Copies of this chain bind each other. A is one copy, B any other.
Amino acid sequence: MRVTIRDVARACAVDVSTVSRALAGVRGISDETRSRVLEAAERLSYVPNRVARGLATGRSQSLGLLISDIRNPFFADVARGAEDAAFAAGFDLILGNADLESERQMRYIRSLVEKRVDGLVMNSVTALSKTEIAELVSYRVPVVLLVRPRSASAFSTVSADNFEGGRAAGTYLLGLGHRNVAHLTGSPRHANLWARGQGFRKAVQDGGSRVRCTVLRGDHTQQGGSELARRLFKSNPEVTAIFAGNDAMAYGVLRAAAECGRRIPETLSLIGFDNVDISAIVHPPLTTIHQPRYEMGKASVEILVRKIHEANPVTEHRVFGVQLVERASCRAL
């Protein structure tokens, strides 16, 4: 049997409540008894039982992190930021990979609620139906989202300024003299990709009427990028610049370009979005839009923790600025 608070109490002839107080480090206990208790606890190698504590206090000191896939480097960075913030605040982080599948996502949510997590940071709720979202809300657990849903909601959010990023990409390309540009992106239901596209479109519109802009949609993966690029090269061979919805797609473009004999950046400029680690390693080094992933993860649990501690929590929306990282995949016309 494990040594409990009672054993410690017995060992120094005090009540368990006294031990509890000493261990909790509250004031209102004499220094002498405190150190006596602490010494005894140490000697008996007492290990507090947080689940018992959790039952008594109603707080588990753990948070849930529900993302689509930790293997996506974006989420790995976010997770690290989240984890560091949680660690600093004395919380543990329960990880869930939900693949944006609503059923899997709900199973996780229920499981986490049963474990009484004190809060939840989630990738997104876009895969959830209205009733599922209602269920989530009914659990009354503080939630921070990493994707700002277009509909208003009770959840706090942390996101990057995707719109501005898209616009920056557009003005950069136009500034380089490109007048026949393309945007390769994913499903319009993907809020982040959508905002990037909108920003890009805005830049193009502001660039005057002489610029041609073709938009192609497909899978927002390397594979998808390749396919779209090939289609683009056929339908609009005069295109001189591409804005890919994310870096993965940009790598696909890189591939397709190599196969189709289009040299980057000599005859085709390419800009991505994300600034994944390998962007600097790939050939040619990819010009892209950087979003502060680690900071976003960190901020999301900081907001969450604040929300947990506050009496009547406010829903907060924090958007992080993005930054164009100029490398070698774009060239002036």
Question: CB within 8 Å of B: which residues of A?
Answer: 45, 47-52, 54-55, 60, 62, 65, 69-71, 73, 76-77, 79-80, 83-84, 87, 92-97, 110-116, 138-139, 222, 251, 254-255, 278, 281-283
How distant is A100 from chain B, measured CB to nearest CB, in Å? Answer: 14
Knowing A51-B51, A51-B55, the reply to whether A70 touches B76 (Cβ < 8 A) is: yes
CA distance in complex: A248, B19 (Å): 51
B residues near A254, Cβ cutoff 8 Å = 281
Knowing A54-B51, A71-B80, A76-B76, the reply to whether A115 touches B92 (Cβ < 8 A) is: yes
B residues near A112, Cβ cutoff 8 Å = 92
In the complex, besides A79-B95, A95-B95, 6 extra interface pairs with C-beta distance below 8 angstroms are A45-B138, A47-B113, A51-B116, A84-B97, A94-B95, A222-B281
CA distance in complex: A254, B48 (Å): 51
CA distance in complex: A287, B281 (Å): 16
B residues near A113, Cβ cutoff 8 Å = 47
CA distance in complex: A113, B94 (Å): 15
B residues near A77, Cβ cutoff 8 Å = 71
Do B73 and A70 touch (CB < 8 A)?
A: no
Do A76 and B71 touch (CB < 8 A)?
A: yes
B residues near A222, Cβ cutoff 8 Å = 281
CA distance in complex: A69, B92 (Å): 15
Quick one: closest B residue to A112, CB to CB?
Answer: B92
B residues near A282, Cβ cutoff 8 Å = 278, 281-283
Do A95 and B93 touch (CB < 8 A)?
A: yes
Residue among B51, B79, B283 making CB contact with A283, cutoff 8 Å:
B283
B residues near A278, Cβ cutoff 8 Å = 278, 281-282
- 5 interchain pairs, CB-CB under 8 A: A45-B138, A51-B55, A70-B79, A71-B80, A93-B94
B residues near A49, Cβ cutoff 8 Å = 55, 114, 116
How distant is A185 from chain B, measured CB to nearest CB, in Å? Answer: 20
B residues near A54, Cβ cutoff 8 Å = 51
B residues near A45, Cβ cutoff 8 Å = 138
Do B83 and A115 touch (CB < 8 A)?
A: no
How distant is A44 from chain B, measured CB to nearest CB, in Å? Answer: 12
CA distance in complex: A118, B49 (Å): 13
CA distance in complex: A54, B114 (Å): 11
Q: Top 10 nearest A-B pairs by Cβ distance?
A: A283-B283, A95-B95, A278-B278, A50-B114, A51-B54, A71-B76, A50-B115, A76-B76, A92-B94, A70-B76
Do B62 and A94 touch (CB < 8 A)?
A: yes
